[in-house]
Chain A
Amino acid sequence: DIVMTQTPLSLSVTPGQPASISCKSSQSLLHSDGKTSLYWYLQKPGQSPQLLIYELSSRFSGVPDRFSGSGSGTDFTLKISRVEAEDVGVYYCMQGLHHAWTFGQGTKVEIK
């Protein structure tokens, strides 16, 4: 299995300030087609996970442009340019290489 490791596990952010979450995979997520099979989800309190970013850096429909994904190979980052109160919850990275998906442990984001 590909192991996904997120840091930090928790983050307290002042509204309007940026935030960054790191995700590392145990092997490269670069597919033979040149795409990177890395996704980011947000699970708001009491809700199901919602897709934020697909294929490393593409924002899903309706996701605000303050969210961005970047990275390559085994190191990835989710950045929130200016955190808002509605961004609280647990963020998960997920890999989907070879049709076997694994998630990171999650990063809990709260507002100061």
Chain B
Amino acid sequence: QITLKESGPTLVKPTQTLTLTCTFSGFSLYTSGVGVGWIRQPPGKALEWLALIYWNDDKRYSPSLKSRLTITKDTSKNQVVLTMTNMDPVDTATYYCAHKLWFGESDYGMDVWGQGTTVTVSS
């Protein structure tokens, strides 16, 4: 059974750097075709993809946020970390991590999501 759980601060001040950790079980980032992505959702608004890291350390970022984001993995710890610099109140959102699977001839997309963690940006 695949599970993911996000953790990090619930409140950050404007201009600070946010660091979020996704801790997962039921799969390994040593496995070909596997990735972990980050998606956020401001209150009452739509989903926005942020970043994704693959088993081979290939990293992808949202073009509009690329300059502020860094995604890394610690395969031995089953963790993926997302950092976002220069936080602003508009970055207030629930942040989700999700398992991504590309297996055989099928790309399942982000098929299992964590419960999300709420981050508020305020002074």
The chain A residues found within 8 Å of chain B, CB to CB, are 1, 33, 35, 37, 39, 41, 43, 48-51, 54-55, 58, 60, 92, 94, 96, 99-106
Contacts and interface: CB of A to CB of B under 8 A. Distances in A.
A104 B46 contact: yes
6 A-B pairs with the lowest CB-CB distances in the bound complex, closest first:
A101-B49, A48-B113, A103-B47, A39-B109, A99-B60, A51-B111
Given A35-B107, A39-B109, A54-B106, A101 B37 contact: yes
A47 B52 CA distance: 21
Interface string B37-68: 10000000011110010000010101110000
A55 B106 contact: yes
A39 B107 CA distance: 10
B84 interface: no
Contacts of B107: 35, 37, 54-55, 96
Nearest to B64: A1
Given A51-B111, A96-B107, 20 more contacts: A35-B105, A39-B109, A48-B96, A49-B47, A51-B110, A54-B107, A54-B108, A55-B107, A55-B109, A58-B106, A60-B108, A60-B111, A96-B109, A99-B58, A100-B63, A101-B37, A101-B49, A104-B46, A106-B46, A106-B47
A112 B37 CA distance: 36
Interface of B: 37, 46-49, 52, 58, 60, 62-64, 96, 105-116
Given A104-B46, A105-B46, A54 B64 contact: no
A48 B95 CA distance: 10
16 contacts: A1-B63, A48-B116, A49-B47, A49-B96, A50-B113, A51-B108, A54-B111, A60-B108, A92-B46, A96-B107, A99-B52, A99-B58, A99-B60, A100-B63, A104-B46, A106-B46
